[in-house]
Amino acid sequence: MSTDITDENIAKRVQDGDAEAFGVLMDRYENKLTRYARKFLAGYDDREDALQNVFIKAYEHIQGYDAKRPFSPWIYRIAHNEFVNVLRRQKREPISPFDFDTLFPHPIAPEKSDTESIRNEDEETIDACIQEIDPKYREVLILYFYEELDYKTIADILHVPISTVGVRIKRGKEKLKVLCEMHHIDL
Amino acid sequence: MTKELSTIKEKVVSAIESGTTNMRPKWHFVLRGTLLSLGLILVLIALLYIASLIVFTLKQTGLIMTPVMGGRGFGVFLFSAPWLLVGTALIFVIVLEVLARKFAFAYKQPLLLSLAGIFLVAIVGTFAISQVRVHEFLHEQARGGNLPAVGPLYRTLDSGIPGNVIPGVVIDITDTHLTLERPDGMVDTITLNEETHFMRNTEPGVGDAIVVLIRPREDESLIAEHIRPAPKNGFLPFRVTDKGRIEDIPPSPMK
């Protein structure tokens, strides 16, 4: 299938009954979602099962996808739900059902192109630092710095206000910086 | 990693081909969205009903006037306000917020903003319901025995707050006594004395709808502490007497 065809058009084909087209969507998102799972669920056993469930649920729910809207946030949303379920099931890290970050309006911090400054560092060390951060900060850092998604897309995935994404990224970076300093890395 | 990926893809494709994994039909999602929207609307209607019932209760019992009747009036308000209804309304606000946050229009907003939006809708809706006088209509039906389910709830509102607040229409007034007909038809004689506070030092006249904060005495007589005119569209409009509807009695100007 041509690479010019958008994800949305392929999803539409799947909705119209072309089940094989779903394989193309899988090809396009396997790497991204595997990276997301590997970094967000590092150290968890159920990673591969969770990833498989993401694609199975995406297929089962594809008729609920609105092809007029971007496909990427939709499948990332499924992945987010599935991965958070893994965290909840294993109870190794507390996941609060209520997040005070979503309570108040926050000024939106400007998006910066500092992705490279983090990616250029020793990835294994950064990964080790990220794993020590609270999941709600870890997830936005992964989506922003590794998946290179913008605030709006991340907000659509997490179902939180855009300003909350900005706040979490800011706080997550601060926490990451402290942890990296402990590992003698300058960010 | 490549091996892992192909394994996942193979498993998913195999599940699809074998029919273990099936695409849910579109109507499933349409139905779910419709039920969710319907639930949201029903909870909103319930919230508006309860919020407007709170206001109606406050007006019907005369409690709405007690916060401006001095410290004891405020205390009576705090003690006698329909907190059960208020608590129920707050539960409905939370349920509404939880349901609304399934929709982008709500989850894209900070929680406080969407809650403020719900409160605003509740206030505007309550005002609108007050204007069309839904509860007055239901109250009249309850008085006629036509509302078996919620009739008793409405009828209990007609006796004010026993021992503390009496709403009613003045049917006689002297320098020392006030005769008041309550919404439930009972007549009370209330003593006026030099400590009775009138709004802007004006005494009510016959036919006026008023709210009286009383202080019961051991001899069972009632002393008026504060007297205020009843709120507009207050507690009496549907009570029928042998003179006709109470609201048809022309109120006398305050002296």
| Residue A71 CB neighbours (<10 A) | 22
Helix (H) or strand (E) holding B167: strand B165-173
Chain A residues touching B32 at Cβ < 8 A: 64
Is B218 a domain residue?
Answer: yes
- The domain of B218 spans 160-248
User: Which residue ranges form the domains of chain A, and what is each CATH number?
Assistant: 7-90 (1.10.1740.10), 106-182 (1.10.10.10)
Cβ-based neighbours of B59, under 8 Å, separated by 6 or more: B230, B231, B233, B234, B235
CA angle A40, A46, A50 (to 5 degrees): 75
Contact status, residue B47 vs residue B92, Cβ threshold 8 Å: yes
Whether residue A48 and residue B23 make contact (CB cut-off 8 A), yes or no, is no
Nearest to A63 among B12, B23, B108 (CB): B23
Cβ–Cβ gap B21/A63 under 8 Å: no
The string over B176-194, giving b where at least 16 C-beta atoms fall within 10 Å of a residue's C-beta and e elsewhere, is eebbbbbbeeeeeebebee
Q: What span, in angstroms and rounded, lies between the C-alpha atoms of B8 and A44?
A: 17
Q: Which two tokens stand for residue B92?
A: 């409905």
Note whether A153 and A73 are within 8 A (CB). yes
Identify any residues that bridge with B241 across adjacent strands, giving them in sequence order: B244
Asked which of B118, B143, B168 is the last residue of a domain, the reply is B143
Q: Angle formed by the axes of helices A21-40 and A7-15, to 10°?
A: 120
Chain B residues within 8 A (CB-CB) of chain A? 1, 4-5, 7-9, 11-13, 15-17, 21-26, 28-29, 32, 101, 104, 107-113
Q: Report, as ranges of residue numbers, the positions in chain B whose pLDDT lies below 50.
A: 1, 236-238, 240-255
* CA pair distance B143, B175, nearest whole angstrom: 34
HSE value, Cβ hemisphere, 13 Å, CA-based, for B157: 29
Tell which of B143, B176, B199 closes a domain. B143
Has residue B18 been placed in a domain?
Answer: no
Is residue B151 assigned to a domain? Answer: no
| pLDDT value at residue A122 | 61
B30 and B138 both lie in a single domain: yes
Answer yes or no: is B223 within a domain: yes
Q: Cα–Cα distances in Å, from B245 out to B147, B169, B232?
A: 21, 12, 16
Which residue's structure tokens are 């709004």? B199
Q: Is the ipTM of this complex over 0.85?
A: no
Residues of A in contact with B22 (CB under 8 A): 60
Assess if residue B11 is contained within a domain. no
Please check whether residues B239 and B137 belong to one and the same domain: no
Residue B77 has a pLDDT of 93
SS3 (DSSP) at B44: helix
Residues of A in contact with B34 (CB under 8 A): none
Q: Find, in chain B, the residue whose alpha carbon is nearest to that of A32.
A: B5
Structural domains in chain B (count): 2
Whose CA is closest to A59, among A106, A91, A90, A17?
A17
**Is the CB of A102 less than 8 angstroms away from the CB of B110?**
yes
Which among A36, A35, A82 has a CA at the least distance from the CA of A55? A82
pLDDT at A159 (0 to 100): 93
Tally C-beta pairs within 8 A across A and B: 79
Residues 6+ apart with CB under 8 A from B55: B64, B126, B130
* β-pair type (B244-245, B240-241): antiparallel
Residue pLDDT, tens place only, A101-154: 777 777 766 666 555 556 556 666 677 788 888 898 999 999 998 898 999 999
Residue B148 lies in a domain: no
Query: Sign of the C-alpha dihedral, residues B7, A139, A149, A153?
Result: positive
B109 and B164 together in one domain: no
Residue B4 lies in a domain: no
Classify strands B165-173 and B209-216 as parallel, antiparallel or unpaired: antiparallel
Q: Please give the DSSP secondary-structure letter assigned to residue B147.
A: -
- CA dihedral (A16, A17, A23, A27) in degrees, to 10, reads 10
pLDDT for A106 equals: 72
The answer to the question of residue B12 being in a domain is no
Tell me, what's the pLDDT at A51?
A: 93
Shared domain check, B139 and B169: no
Nearest-CB residue to B21 (from A59, A64, A160)? A59
Q: What is the pLDDT of residue B134?
A: 87
CA atoms within 13 A on the CB side of A43: 12
Residues B237, B167, single domain; the answer is yes
Distance CA B190, CA B133 (A): 30
What residues of chain A score a pLDDT lower than 50? none
Same domain, B131 and B171: no
What count of other Cβ atoms lies within 10 Å of the Cβ of residue B40? 17
Identify the helix (H) or strand (E) that includes residue A174. helix A162-182
Whether residues B110 and B213 share a domain: the answer is no
Burial of A10 (0-12, 13-18, 19+ CB in 10 A): buried
Same domain (yes/no): B138, B30: yes
Query: What is the model's pLDDT at position B59?
Result: 87
Each residue's pLDDT tens digit, B78-126: 999 999 999 999 999 999 999 999 999 999 999 999 999 999 999 999 9
Contact B170, B207 (CB under 8 A): yes
Q: Please tell me the predicted confidence (pLDDT) of residue A119.
A: 55
Q: Show Cβ contacts of residue B61 under 8 Å, excluding neighbours closer than 6 positions.
A: B80, B157, B160, B161, B165, B167, B235
Alpha carbon distance B130, B49 (integer Å)? 10
Pair (B139, B188) in one structural domain: no
DSSP SS3 for A5: coil
Question: Tokens at residue A182, please?
Answer: 């402990």
pLDDT of res. A116:
56
Residues B104 and B174 in one domain: no
Chain A residue set in contact with B, beta carbons under 8 Å? 14-15, 19, 22-23, 26-27, 30-31, 34, 48, 51-52, 55-56, 59-64, 102-106, 155-156, 159-164
- Asked if residue B176 and residue B94 are part of one domain, the reply reads no
Q: Are residues B218 and B180 in the same domain?
A: yes
